[in-house]
């Protein structure tokens, strides 16, 4: 009962699994970036609407940013 030899097929399977995991992580990262962008856009639009309605006194309500 010695060490079992490692075959090339073992490494090929590992490379395939690592590639699949990498692809999934890339997809997940992209989705996370999309959510962050959506949140920024939502907050920006909300602030712009507040400015137009005069609800936000921190900024000059007469300024048109469009």
What pLDDT score does 56 carry? 47
What pLDDT score does 39 carry? 84
d(CA 13, CA 6): 12
DSSP 20: H
What pLDDT score does 21 carry? 94
What pLDDT score does 14 carry? 85
What pLDDT score does 18 carry? 92
Q: Which residues of the chain have pLDDT under 70?
A: 1-2, 6-10, 50-66
For the whole prediction, is pTM greater than 0.85? no
Structure tokens at 8: 């090339």
């Amino acid at each position: 009962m010695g060490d079992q030899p490692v075959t090339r097929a073992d490494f090929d399977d590992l490379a395939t699994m690592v590639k699949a995991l990498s692809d999934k992580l890339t997809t997940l990262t992209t989705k996370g970036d999309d959510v962050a962008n959506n949140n920024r856009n939502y907050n920006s639009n909300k602030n712009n609407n507040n400015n137009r309605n005069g609800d936000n006194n921190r900024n000059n309500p007469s300024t048109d940013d469009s």
